[in-house]
Chains A and B, each alone.
Chain A
Amino acid sequence: MPPTETVFLPTTVSIKKHMLKSFRTFDIWDLPGQINFTSSGYDTEGIFGPAGAIVWVLDAQDNYVESCARLFETVMSLQQTRPNIKFAVFIHKTDSISDDYREDTVRDIQQRITDDLDDAGLTNPPITFHSTSVYDISISEALSKVLQLLIPQLPTFEALINNIAVNCCFHKLYLIDTLTKLFIASDTSPGDTASYSLLCDWFDTLMDLADLYSTEGQSNESHAISERNNGDTSNDRNAVNGSALVKPGATMSTLAPPYITENDAHSFVKGSRGIDLYLREITVQLVLVGWSKQSGFAERKPLIDYNVSLFSKAIKDCLQVIAPDPPETEEAQSSDNS
């Protein structure tokens, strides 16, 4: 839905549950804001029991004092029963506030809430703050950070990505979810919104192009098989593609149906201003995207491809084990320091 049309959305009056299917499934519960769910009479256990993180949306344009107080109550009551729940405060609708004032507002809210919690004896509350807007990429960035709170493998992912970013001269690397474009992990260099925004736009471009041509490729498959039966490799490839066609998952984004793990989709842009973009599919749900301004990056692409393929294998191993074993994956990674 384009951001301009969100004004037509009705008020949420009951709990709405959404499911986010990625490499893991996340349940998102949309709670109506006018009801206090921590008060007695509600099934707090049922609502907050399975929750891993709570996103609290504050309207930065409105009078936020009341909302801050409500947040305070919620945090306090939940901290007693379930201290593992993490809070993320989205200071929302910041697009309409001018730049200098925005900083002030964010700082004010942040100060207010931490002070209150501090006074109540909660010195290190599990709260993060994000200033967001639906009109730019900031909302995706903030949601990504929230998702990352819920991923147990995150440190491993970050270690792997850092390793490859340093060794392959990537300026910034993201592991993004193909459906939502949220990033599951990134290298730990200071994040900047601009590169995330560019890479998301690029990913959109690729999706649009894939949309135009991927179906066509499928209809050609029979063509291709009948045409070239000489050469083992081409036969192999066709066989592999054939198996992709019967794979379920048609509801996924356009990349999903034809893309398979044995023959990862990849893309590359050699920019004319020294900026190169790199993308490689890891699984159906995850792609690695990054950019580099290292000169000679394009020439060294085969080497990078090789490193990324090892990285990809490490990530897949990681996803398969429920509790990741960091030493083992580190070892797998160390072999690609070529």
Chain B
Amino acid sequence: MTTMTTEAYSNRISVDTVNPASTSNANASPKTKHTSEDEYTAGKVKEAKQKILLMGKSGSGKSSMRNIIFSNFVAKDVRRLGATIDVERSKVKFLGNLVLNLWDCGGQDAFTENFLTSQKKFVFDHVGVLIYVFDIESRETERDLLTYIQIIKCLEQYSPHACVFCLVHKMDLVQVESRDAVFQERRALITQSSRSYAKRMVSYPTTIWDQSLYRAWGNIVNSLIPNMNVIEDYLRHLAESIEAQEVILFEQSTFLAVKHIRTARGDGSPYPDRLERLSHILKTFKHSMATFTESSSSSHQFEEFYISAPTFNLVISNFTSNTCVLCVFPPGDSEITCARINIGTARQEFFDFDMPVSSRQRSPLAERRSPEGHSRYNNSTLPYKTTSHESQQSIETVMSMDEPSTPRGG
């Protein structure tokens, strides 16, 4: 376990080195070949910001999507939005140390012209991701593609390693039967125009009226998370401990799926699109809660949510400061208690991992996170055991995950 995680950490550093977007700040580290451990403990990687450009023709729906995903707007509320002037920059805190630096670029011709000429370097330097939005209803497809090519050229010049995502938006306006064909046709055109990015470019059909938006953005954000394999390790461990069919880590305010683990027990779900559906369902629920409590809809609305049904158990629990975890596992009351204890233990370990490096070494700080919860569960683990022996062992395994974290920090 220990060796695996160390490897994963160094892996993550190397991702950052390749990606120049991590150093958009003036005070950020110089782009040298750094030794991974030094860089890491200095905490500079933690400040890394990923610059995301959101571009596309005026009125294609860029700001609408941004507001739905990151500001918790309801789809029908976006009609109130006005046109974006110049660039609207927003910083979205995603996972603990990952700050998304989102640049919503106004799509009117005058602005685009500016971006391509005088502000070229300012805009296209250190780009991690370019998201280009195409309006499927647009009548000037050729002109849209020309603008796209120009933007791609600039991107090649300043940020050749950036990822490019194309969203073919407003798909709800196309008739259901022809949606796929229309999208494929448009995708072919976009790929042709993508020049050197053609192979890496990913495109999605989207609309703000259903979960397709969450699928596209979930994938985009996932491409930005550098330490995915570490997260995966932990989650898989947790999944095995509670004999789960499925474990999903969500970012808390956007409810985008960060990582999804499906064990052998959970094969054969009839819903391949359930991640997006979950995002959609949970976000709707969060809205209802927010309306009821008359609080902001982007704030946390629940700490724990569980369903116990005769065929399955489902627990959604706050995990780290801005993630929550959803576990689905076999039915039974003892299983649910067991799983909650295990999640509590895993939360502790994850919290250490989510913290900035400087405070990672000090474990007392980490404990502050779950003041009564952790210590109490430690003592009262035994009465909560399920009847099967496997679960009993698994609690201990999860608990032992705490140990490697302390030497790693130093």
Task: Out of A223, A228, A258, A267, name the residue touching B310 (CB < 8 Å).
Answer: A258
How many B residues touch the partner, as a band?
Answer: 35 or more
Contact yes or no, A198 B288, CB < 8 A: yes
Looking at the assembled complex, report how far the CB atom of B165 sits from the nearest CB atom of chain A, in whole angstroms.
Answer: 26
Contact yes or no, A214 B312, CB < 8 A: yes
Contact yes or no, B288 A201, CB < 8 A: yes
Known interface pairs A195-B292, A202-B288. Does A220 touch B307 (Cβ–Cβ under 8 Å)? no
Contact yes or no, A240 B301, CB < 8 A: no
The residues in A between 122 and 177 inclusive whose CB is less than 8 angstroms from any CB of B are none
Query: Considering only CB atoms, which chain A residue lies closest to B290 in the complex?
Result: A273
Number of A-B contacts (CB under 8 A): 135
Looking at the assembled complex, report how far the CB atom of A140 sits from the nearest CB atom of chain B, in whole angstroms.
Answer: 15
Known interface pairs A217-B312, A258-B309. Does A272 touch B265 (Cβ–Cβ under 8 Å)? no
A79 in contact (CB, < 8 A): no
**0 or 1 for each of B271-288: is its CB under 8 Å from A? (1 = yes):** 100100110011011001
Q: How far is the CA of A266 from the CA of B291 in the complex (A)?
A: 24
Q: How far is the CA of A214 from the CA of B331 in the complex (A)?
A: 10
Looking at the assembled complex, report how far the CB atom of B255 sits from the nearest CB atom of chain A, in whole angstroms.
Answer: 12
Task: Out of B285, B311, B332, name the residue touching A214 (CB < 8 Å).
Answer: B311
Contact yes or no, A273 B301, CB < 8 A: yes
Contact yes or no, B301 A216, CB < 8 A: no
Contact yes or no, A265 B388, CB < 8 A: no
B109 in contact (CB, < 8 A): no
B270 in contact (CB, < 8 A): yes
Residues of A close to B300: CB separation below 8 A: 272
Contact yes or no, A269 B302, CB < 8 A: yes
Contact yes or no, A216 B268, CB < 8 A: yes
Contact yes or no, B284 A205, CB < 8 A: yes
B330 in contact (CB, < 8 A): yes
Residues of A close to B304: CB separation below 8 A: 268-270, 298
Residues of B close to A216: CB separation below 8 A: 245, 266, 268-270, 311-312, 328
Residues of B close to A234: CB separation below 8 A: 332, 387-388
Contact yes or no, A220 B266, CB < 8 A: yes
State the 7 A-B residue pairs at the shortest beta-carbon distance, nearest first: A217-B311, A201-B288, A231-B387, A217-B312, A205-B285, A258-B311, A198-B292
B-side residues, CB < 8 A to A, are 245, 265-266, 268-271, 274, 277-278, 281-282, 284-285, 288-289, 291-293, 295, 299-312, 314, 318, 328, 330-332, 334, 387-389
Given A210-B307, A270-B305, A273-B293, 11 new contacts (CB under 8 A): A195-B292, A197-B288, A198-B288, A198-B292, A213-B311, A214-B311, A217-B309, A217-B311, A217-B331, A267-B306, A273-B295
Can you show 8 pairs from A to B with CB atoms below 8 A apart?
A194-B291, A194-B292, A220-B265, A228-B388, A231-B387, A269-B304, A272-B302, A275-B293
